[in-house]
Amino acid sequence: MMMVSLANLVAQVSGASAIAVGLLIGLGALGTAIGFGLLGGRFLEGAARQPEMIPTLQVKMFIVAGLLDAVTMIAVAIALILIFANPFISKVETTYASDQVAAQSSAQINDQAHPVVVAQK
């Protein structure tokens, strides 16, 4: 069984978290930009067709714009948690520590079960 160091495991988790943060922020921004583009275009189409409905359409547009921003802010909040308070790193550390304790106790049990006999002359 190959032993992996704690520093290597933490580095791998940190690297994967950095990739996840980049995807969260990048795809969140891309989705919001596409959503705002579609929303603005449809608002302008509706306003051009029925100018008397502009106040109603504008209220609905701002409600949907707030929802679009909320999705992006949730993604940014998750990204900040992954950067500054990564729960996966603490899980790796506790699992690694418990594995080390289990390995030490099994080694002690094996030493007690199979004592080394030294032949004397």
Told to judge if 111 belongs to the known catalytic residues of this protein, a careful annotator would answer no
Identified catalytic residue from 23, 50, 69, 105: 69
Tell me how far apart the alpha carbons of residues 69 and 49 are, in angstroms, rounded to a whole number: 27
Encoded tokens for 118: 């030294």
Rounded to whole angstroms, what are the CA distances from 65 to 4, 18, 40? 48, 28, 9
Active site residues: 69
